[in-house]
Homo-oligomer: A and B are copies of this chain.
């Protein structure tokens, strides 16, 4: 079944101690949509400016991503530039240019409104709401976020949490949201805010799912060298929902395996700048890493 992804479509300029990589294809929707595309059809909703390179449109199309909901506006594409430290654990934002995102309102084409699986990738919570407002009854809605929205749009985000099935955030965001350092009381508080499923991303330490059948912990796929972790979280949740949509059926039964698929896709994302590595991956390579992850978890 089809996945609808809404989020940011951006150009990322990423500096590391050893290289500069200007105007890479980036944004939460780009990463998530490409990740989901390995498992089945994806519809992407976002906006790009008139400076958006054609080659990136070609890249989306190569992944058979439905671009009917991708608006082309006059002005500059959303641009993020950031710098990583040597160990890739810390990054700082050098500049953010909102560009065409400043006036963006997502309009869903008719066919999009029936999408059973919806990924509200990282974007302003008000826009995530706006997408949900246009949907007829989706089967499973996942929302991702970032610290920025916890700081400047908390009320919107809290309202959103009452409307989603699953909420994905990283451990420091969970701490920011709940003021709890311990994961158990943090999860309890987040569930009380609405989501049936809470997924905590812990980077190299994997992820934790909390839901009706208790906790599930999945390792991250260990890679030899982290080139650029930008978008790894978006790839994770995109791969997760893409897998879930592809198998259909009972979410509860398939969510654990979906998380492992998300981890596998995210590991590829970290192995290249922007989407350079992810867009060269095959489904077989993803499946190989899924099998390796399964072996790493097996008693």
Interface residues, chain A, with chain B CB atoms under 8 Å away: 87, 181-185, 202, 204-206, 214-217, 219, 222-226, 256-257, 260, 292, 294-299
4 more A-B residue pairs beyond the given contacts A214-B296, A216-B298, A294-B299, with a C-beta to C-beta distance below 8 A: A184-B224, A216-B296, A216-B297, A217-B297
Query: Which residue of B87, B216, B260 contacts A181 across the interface (Cβ within 8 Å)?
Result: B87
Give the number of copies in the complex.
2
The secondary-structure label for the interface of chain A is mixed
CB closest residue in chain B, given A294: B299
Q: Which residues of B contact A224 (CB under 8 A)?
A: 182, 184-185
| Cβ B260 vs Cβ A296 within 8 A | no
Q: How far, in angstroms, from A225 to B183 measured CA to CA in the complex?
A: 10
Q: Which residues of B contact A260 (CB under 8 A)?
A: 299
| Cβ B219 vs Cβ A256 within 8 A | no
Give the shortest distance, in Å, between A47 (CB) and chain B (any CB): 37
CB closest residue in chain B, given A292: B214
Q: How far, in angstroms, from A215 to B181 measured CA to CA in the complex?
A: 29
